Amino acid sequence: MLVECDALLSNVSRLPGTDGKAKMSKSLGSTIALGASPDEITKAVNHMCTDPNHLQVSDPGQVEGNVVFAFLGAFEPDVHAVDELKAHYRRGGLGGSVVKRMLNERLQVMLTPIRERRRELEDDRAVVLEILCHGTMRAREVASVTLSEVKGALGLNYFQH
């Protein structure tokens, strides 16, 4: 039986590039790769744009358009902590370096297992091919069942010779 699909949506529509421009661009160097080294992640976070008018820690800051807060909102699961940081930044008394450090720690934790698994797999081509073959076979099985159901629902199940 066919069921209507549910949309799986992120809580973030689009992340800006690390340079603060509209979108990430590999050619412009405004991305953080999944396989980035710890140093590459730290460098990218440290170069992120924050609020250009937040000149001193005591100054109130603007969260809207602040790339670091955009990334924290996307990747930090503790929404309450992010909301508290935003409120603190808006009223002043919180420097951009503290927020960047928190983002750096979050990205390091999140990307370390991906980087480690990639390192394991890049040395074993046979395992990668096995994973790809298994995934392909499983996808074909699921697609075949779904296609059969769609054809049945549309009345297109013709006798096959």
pTM of the model: 0.77
User: How many Cβ atoms from other residues are within 10 Å of residue 92's Cβ?
Assistant: 14
Asked whether residue 103 is domain-assigned, the answer is yes
Q: Does the structure show a pLDDT above 70 at 62?
A: yes
Q: Does the structure show a pLDDT above 90 at 110?
A: yes
Helix 96-122 with 125-154: angle, nearest 10 deg: 100
Q: What is the CATH number of the domain that holds 113?
A: 1.10.240.10
- The confidence band for 130, taking pLDDT boundaries of 50, 70 and 90, is very high
What average pLDDT does the chain have? 90
Task: Please indicate, yes or no, whether residues 64 and 87 belong to a single structural domain of this protein.
Answer: yes
Q: What's the pLDDT at 154?
A: 86
Q: Reduced to 3 states, what is the DSSP secondary structure of residue 131?
A: helix
Asked whether residue 5 is domain-assigned, the answer is no
Task: Please indicate, yes or no, whether residues 44 and 98 belong to a single structural domain of this protein.
Answer: yes
**In whole angstroms, how far apart are CA 93 and each of 65, 71, 89, 141?**
19, 21, 7, 57
Residue 102 near residue 72, CB atoms below 8 Å: yes
Mean pLDDT of 54-80: 92
Q: What's the pLDDT at 79?
A: 93
Q: What's the pLDDT at 7?
A: 87
Task: Please indicate, yes or no, whether residues 32 and 100 belong to a single structural domain of this protein.
Answer: yes
Q: 148 lies in which domain range?
A: 124-161
Q: What's the pLDDT at 126?
A: 93
Asked whether residue 7 is domain-assigned, the answer is no
Mean pLDDT of 133-161: 87
Dig out the tokens for 127 from the structure: 């395992």
Dig out the tokens for 113 from the structure: 């297992």
Task: Please indicate, yes or no, whether residues 141 and 99 belong to a single structural domain of this protein.
Answer: no
Task: Please indicate, yes or no, whether residues 118 and 41 belong to a single structural domain of this protein.
Answer: yes
Q: Does the structure show a pLDDT above 60 at 161?
A: no
Mean pLDDT of 132-150: 94
Asked whether residue 6 is domain-assigned, the answer is no
Asked whether residue 1 is domain-assigned, the answer is no
Task: Please indicate, yes or no, whether residues 89 and 131 belong to a single structural domain of this protein.
Answer: no
Asked whether residue 2 is domain-assigned, the answer is no
Task: Please indicate, yes or no, whether residues 27 and 55 belong to a single structural domain of this protein.
Answer: yes
Q: What's the pLDDT at 159?
A: 65
Task: Please indicate, yes or no, whether residues 129 and 119 belong to a single structural domain of this protein.
Answer: no
Number of domains in the chain: 2
Q: What's the pLDDT at 160?
A: 58
Give every CB contact of residue 32 below 8 A, 6+ residues apart in sequence: 18, 40, 41, 44, 45, 107, 111
Task: Please indicate, yes or no, whether residues 106 and 139 belong to a single structural domain of this protein.
Answer: no
